[in-house]
Structure 1
Amino acid sequence: MFSAIAFDMLDPVTLIVFAALGGLSFIAVTVAVFKAVQFARLGVGQRKAAEAVLDAWLSDRQDEALRLVAPRRSVLARTLQAVFSALHARPDQPAFAEELGRQTALVELAAMEERMRLLEMVVQAAPMLGLLGTVVGMIEAFSVLSAAGGAVDSAALAGGIWVALTTTAAGLTIALVTYFAASWFEARIDTERTLIEAAISAAIHGRVDASARLG
C-alpha cells in the first residue's frame, strides 16, 4: 500500500513524518531482535532443567543439585544457584538465602526488562506522528482548494488527501505490530518472574504439593 506513494507529491513536513516513522520502525525491529536474542541467551523459559535441579535439592541430593546447576546459564538456574549456595553456606539462615535469591532475581529481571521502554515509546509515538502527518497533509490539501477557488482538480485533491491519510495508517500499523511484540516480551518476563518466585520458595521451604512443578 505504502510503496505506491509518489514521494514527489509529499510536502516537506509529510516527508519528515514518514522519515520519523521509518526511524521508529527501525528502532522497533532492532529492539525486538535484541530482546529475542537476549532471551535466548538468558535461557528464559528453561523450566525443565531448573526443575531437575530443584528435584535433586529437595530429595536431599544437595551435592548433585549444586553440580547440576553450576553449568546452567538460565535465569532460573542462576537464581537457584544463589539460593543453594546461601543455604549450603548458612543452613540455619533461610532468610539470608531467600534475600540472596531475590537480589539475584532482581538483577536478572532488570536485564530482561532492558530496552522495553523503547518499544513502549514506539507504540505511543507512532500513531501520534501519523496523525500529525495527516493533519498537516489535510491542511495543505484544503489550503490548495481554498487558493484555487472552484478550479481545483478533484483528482489531485483526492490524491493529496489519500497521501495525508497514509501517514496515520502507517503509524497505526507500526504501533500495532510493536504493541504485539512488546506484549509478548512482557508476558515472558511476567512468567519468568512468577517461576523465579516459585523456585525460591520451593528451594527454601519445600513444595506444598509434591506434584507441583514450575509452570
Structure 2
Amino acid sequence: MSMLLLLQAIGNQAAEQMPEFTTLTPQAEAEMNVIDLAFKGGWIMIVLLLLSLMAIYIFIQRLIVIRRAGKEDENFMNRIKDYIHDGKVDSALNLCRSTNTPSARMIEKGITRLGRPMNDVLVAIENVGNLEIAKLEKGFPLIATTAAGAPMLGFLGTVTGMVHAFFDMANAGTNVDVSLLSGGIYEALVTTVGGLVVGIIALFAYNYLVSQVDNVVNKMEARTMEFMDLLNEPAN
C-alpha cells in the first residue's frame, strides 16, 4: 500500500514540474495560400508578374499574326503561273497585292524584277523574305529574355530574402526562435518558385512560336522555288 502511495506522489510531482505536457492541445494545420505567398515575395514578384503579362500578350499577338501569315490560297501559285504564261503581268501583280501573306509579297517583288538577271530576281525575293521573317519574329527577344531572366530574378529574390531572414535572426540575439528563421526562408523561396514558373512557361511559348515561324518560312521557300522554276521554264 505504501508503495502505491509513493508512486502516486512521484507522478503528481512530475506533473507539477512539467505542466506544459498536460496542457498541449492539437494546433490547426496552417494552410498555404498561393496568393498570400506571392505577396510575401516582395517587389521581385511584381517584376515577375509584369514580365509574365508582357510575355503572354506577345505570345497571343504573335501567334495570331503567324497563323494568318501561314494561311495561303492553294491556287495562288497556279493563278500566278497562268498570268505569267499569258503575259498578264499586271493581273499577277494585282493578285499578289490583294493577298496579304509573306509569300505573296515576295512573289510580287520577283514579278517587278522580271527581265533582269535571275540572280537579281532571287536576291530581291530573298531580301523581302528576310524582312517578312523579321516582322513575324517581332517581340521574340522579350519572351526569350523572360525565359532566361525570370529564374535569375527569382533566385535574386531568394538570396535577398535569406539575407533579411538571417539579419532578423541576428537582431533577435539570444531570443532566437526557429519559426523566425524558417518563416523567412520559405517566404524567400517563393520568388524562386515564381521565377521558375514564369521562365518555364516563357521558354515553352518561345519555342512554340519559333516552330510556327519555321513552318511559315518553309512555305515561303517553297513558293520562291516555284516562282524561280517558272522563270526558268523554256519559252513556248
Q: Structure 1 length as normaliser, TM-score?
A: 0.78
Counterpart check, 1:181 vs 2:201 = no
Query: Unaligned stretches of 5+ in structure 2?
Result: 1-32, 231-236
* C-alpha distance in 2 between matches for 1:179 and 1:5: 24
| 1:132 Cα offset (Å) | 0.5
Aligned residue in 1 for 2:53: 26
Alignment match, 1:210: none
* Aligned with residue 71 of structure 2, among 34, 43, 46: 46
Equivalent residue pairs, number: 195
**CA RMSD across the alignment:** 2.6
- Contact 1:17/1:167, CA 8 A, preserved across alignment: yes
Q: Aligned to 2:113, what secondary structure does the other structure show?
A: helix
Q: What is the rounded CA distance, in whole Å, between the counterparts of 1:61 and 1:173 in structure 2? A: 58
**Alignment partner for residue 71 of structure 1, among 75, 80, 98?**
98
Judge conservation of contact 1:130–1:171 (CA < 8 Å) in 2: yes
CA distance in 1, matches of 2:147, 2:218: 26
**Secondary structure at 1:44 match in 2:** helix
Question: Rg larger in 1 or in 2?
Answer: 2
Native 8 Å contact 2:169 2:180 kept in 1: no
Change (3 A) 1:54 1:6: closer
User: Offset at 1:168?
Assistant: 0.5
Q: Please identify, of 78-87 and 119-128, the stretch whose mean Cα deviation from structure 2 is larger.
A: 78-87
Does the 8 Å CA contact 2:165/2:185 hold for their aligned counterparts? yes
Q: Would the aligned equivalents of 1:137 and 1:161 in 2 still touch at CA under 8 Å?
A: yes
Q: Are positions 1:2 and 2:34 aligned together?
A: yes
**Percent of aligned pairs with the same residue?**
26
CA displacement, residues 57-107 of structure 1 (integer Å, 9 cap, x when unaligned)? 3454664654543311011121122223333xx2x6322321221121122
